Structure formats: structure tokens, C-alpha cells
A and B are shown apart, each in its own frame.
Chain A
């Protein structure tokens, strides 16, 4: 159990379609519930391959995700789905199999598996075995779920995969019985030994890539999917924008800003001046303009200083458009920092600059508060970041 320590549940996935198919027959879905410090992830393998399998897996994963979120009891939710999934009339076997992980940031993870290969729990880079509890379906005698309750520690990883991974190479001359769980474990353990900070996404990609190399001619005989979860130190960012409403409390807020762990950004000239004054540090600005925005400035102890509402508005635009390459201006640099962070705190000063409402201005400036709210929505919904707004 992880106590009093900030933890972020990272998730990374990778998939490979069965050779010759135009749709994935496995489906991975996840949803984050920041207010509950929770992440639910599902990997489902649909019967057969191609579009039919995709629909079956998609339906199973979506149902599980919704049920698991609505129902605190994951086992009951999974049982409902297990009993509800129909049987293929032709082959008389289950429509789809699934693995679902309900993770909390305190390290508690509930896992239910039906049909999929057993997950791997990696602690200090080594696989740890767990006893499961089996729950048989009351409706279908051949179906049973494996359920687990785990208490993970920081830096532990969980790896889920479809049978396309463990059975890769099956029937070939080199891997008659497939890569198998043992082969997968050897691979993952050796990768983590050589690179202990390997990201979830990279590990999932490498597992899928390695499974594919086991297949004769690198042609996947089944859909290959891998999903990795990692409980790690969160990468934090704090953005100080706008001077505090009560200037008597400037020092207090600047102190709070500087003590904040992680990267620090100031958006706003006046805000930058407040911080520089309180810390008695100098701001250096070299260029005037970068792109269509005022250029960024520098100060010791702060990672980026930008102008306020124009840069924030531009950053919202970039977040909405999601360009493949971020422009090299202050807003592009700000968005780059957002994307590299898990937790973003905005300290939004409530003081309004009357000059921004001068009718002589050639364009209408939006209220800082509204831009930040739009940014918050985008970052939480589109980019699944944890965002905290503090109006000061």
C-alpha cells in the first residue's frame, strides 16, 4: 500500500492486427477518474478476427468499463458481463475474453480475467506470482473468472496481453508451443533489467514487436495486443498566471509557487514581475517576438516565462488542433510542458487588468479565468491530465 506519496498510474498500449485483416480483433479501453484517484483499464479479445472480432471486443470492453465505473464492486460487474456475453452459435465458444484492472493510486488494484493470459506483476523488474480466486459462471459451465486483489508499490508495473502474444510463433519450427508466458517473462525481465525506467508505451510496443518476430515471416497469425500499467512518480507542473487579488498576499503565493514540486511556468508579464520582486531575481528577455507572440523570458528557478492571455489563448488553440509538430513559440513551449506532465496546477490570480478592456485595443482579449477553464477542460478530457485550478 502506498501512503502519503504522490503516485500517477501511467498506461501504455500497443497493438498489431492479424495479418490480412483491416481491423483490430482486440480492443483496449481505459478511463481515468481523477477525483477518485482511479484508473480502469480493459483489454478484450474478440472471437475470430477482423471486423467481427473488433465489434465483439469493443462491446465487451466498453460494457466492462462502464459497469466497473458505475459499480464499486468490480467482481460483480465482471460477473454480469461474463454471464451476459453470448456464445457463438457456430463454434459454441465464448464471444470474447477480457482482462480488467481497477487501479487506485494507493496501490490497490483489483483484477478480473476471463479467458485472457494471466497478467504479469513486475516488482523491482521481476515477476511476482499471485494466487487467484476463481469464480465460475452460473450460466456457462465452461467460463470462469480469475480474480485478484493486489497491493502494489511505487514503480510496480502490470502487463496484460492477448493470447496473440503468448501464442506467437505457435506451430513454427522454432517455437512449436509458441513464445509462451515463460518467454514473455524472460523478455520483459531482461528489458527492465537493462532499462529500469522504460516507459509503459515503449514496453508495450516492444512486447508486441517481439511477439511479431516469433511469428513465421513476421506475419501475425492472431491479433497481438499488450497493455502496461505503471505506478510512478507523477510529473508535475505549476502555472502561475495573473497577479493575486490581494497584493498583500503576493509573498505568500510566490512562496507557495516556488515550493511546488516539479516544473514551473509563469504566464503574464505582471505576474513575472511580482515573482521577480518577491524573490529579488532578475528577468532576462532577449528577443521581442517569436512567431506571432511575445518571446519568452527567463528567471532562475522558473522553467518558462511567457506573456499572459495571448499566449494562453494560442496554447488553447494548439491543444485543440493538436499539431504533429508544436510551433517554436512561447505557446508551443508551454503546450510541450503540458504534454510532458501528469499533474498540472494552475494558480490563477484574480486581479483584472483594466487596460485589457480598453475599447482602443484592436482585438478583444478574453478573460484569463475563461481561457484557463477551457484549457482545463481540454487537458482533462482530451489529454487525460490531472488538472487543479486555484483561484488566488
Chain B
């Protein structure tokens, strides 16, 4: 099923996430398969505030829709998206 609303992907650019590798997620935009590009909206966020409450999860954090993923990499974000778009 195709949703009209774009899925919001927010990459945390807080200090902890940045040093833990959020800067590498910049490549996400170019690595997203063409068929998904119109369905998502990617942007950075000053801080998602997750490092202080995420429990066992680790920075960098990315929010996909309402879901938070920790230790995010381009691959883990794409994997999550494939779950959503399957």
C-alpha cells in the first residue's frame, strides 16, 4: 500500500551523535533507492534528545516516522525502510 504522506527521516546532529558517526549518514540521500526517494523526507535535526533517555541504545540516532533507531548507519536505515516499504 502506498501512503500519500512522506515518511520523515530525522538524523540527530547533536554532539554525541555527530562524533559517533551521524556525519556519515549524510550519504543517505544519495543511497536511497530511486523508487523510495519520493516517499521519504530526510533532514537533520539539532538534537533528538535520545542519548539521555535511550537506555541500552547507542548514538547515532535516527527517527524514522515515530520509531527511533540507535547505532544508525546508512545500511540500518535502508533495512528499516525496506521493512516499511515491502
Residues on A lying within 8 angstroms of B by beta carbon are: 268-270, 272-273, 283-289, 293-295, 297, 305, 307-310, 353-356, 358, 360-363, 365
Q: Is B73 an interface residue (CB 8 A)?
A: no
Task: Establish whether residues B46 and A285, one from each chain, have CB atoms under 8 Å apart when the complex forms.
Answer: yes
Q: How far is the CA of A269 from the CA of B58 in the complex (A)?
A: 17
Residues 12-67 of B at the A interface (beta carbon under 8 Å):
12-16, 18-20, 22-23, 25-26, 43-47, 49, 51-52, 58-59
The answer, among A273, A285, A310, A360, for a CB contact under 8 Å with B44, is: A285
Q: Is B11 an interface residue (CB 8 A)?
A: yes
4 pairs of A and B residues whose beta carbons are closest in the complex: A269-B47, A355-B51, A269-B46, A288-B26
Q: For residue B43, which residue of chain A has the nearest CB?
A: A285
Q: How far is the CA of A284 from the CA of B41 in the complex (A)?
A: 13
Chain A residue numbers with a CB within 8 Å of B26 are 287-289
Task: Establish whether residues B15 and A309, one from each chain, have CB atoms under 8 Å apart when the complex forms.
Answer: yes
Q: For residue A368, which residue of chain B has the nearest CB?
A: B15
Chain A residue numbers with a CB within 8 Å of B18 are 293-294, 307, 310
Q: Which of under 10, 10 to 19, 20 to 34, or 35 or more describes the interface residues of B?
A: 20 to 34
Q: How far is the CA of A305 from the CA of B47 in the complex (A)?
A: 12
Chain B residue numbers with a CB within 8 Å of A285 are 13, 43-46
The answer, among A269, A284, A289, for a CB contact under 8 Å with B15, is: A269
Judged by DSSP, the binding face of B is mixed
Task: Establish whether residues A269 and B13, one from each chain, have CB atoms under 8 Å apart when the complex forms.
Answer: yes
Write the nearest CB–CB distance from B14 to chain A, whole angstroms.
4
Q: List 23 A-B contacts (CB under 8 A).
A: A268-B15, A268-B46, A270-B14, A270-B47, A270-B49, A273-B46, A285-B13, A287-B44, A288-B13, A288-B25, A294-B18, A307-B14, A307-B18, A307-B46, A308-B15, A309-B15, A353-B51, A353-B52, A355-B51, A355-B52, A356-B16, A360-B58, A362-B19
Task: Establish whether residues B51 and A365, one from each chain, have CB atoms under 8 Å apart when the complex forms.
Answer: no
Chain A residue numbers with a CB within 8 Å of B15 are 268-269, 307-310, 353, 356, 365
Assuming A269-B46, A285-B43, A355-B52, is B13 touching A307 (CB within 8 A)?
Answer: yes
Task: Establish whether residues B19 and A363, one from each chain, have CB atoms under 8 Å apart when the complex forms.
Answer: yes
Task: Establish whether residues B23 and A288, one from each chain, have CB atoms under 8 Å apart when the complex forms.
Answer: yes
Q: For residue B54, which residue of chain A has the nearest CB?
A: A355
Assuming A269-B12, A353-B15, A353-B51, is B20 touching A305 (CB within 8 A)?
Answer: no
Task: Establish whether residues B46 and A295, one from each chain, have CB atoms under 8 Å apart when the complex forms.
Answer: no
Q: For residue B13, which residue of chain A has the nearest CB?
A: A294
Chain A residue numbers with a CB within 8 Å of B47 are 268-270, 272-273
User: Given contacts A272-B46, A286-B44, A294-B23, could you give 8 more A-B pairs where the C-beta distance is less than 8 Å?
Assistant: A273-B47, A294-B13, A297-B44, A307-B13, A307-B18, A310-B19, A360-B20, A363-B19
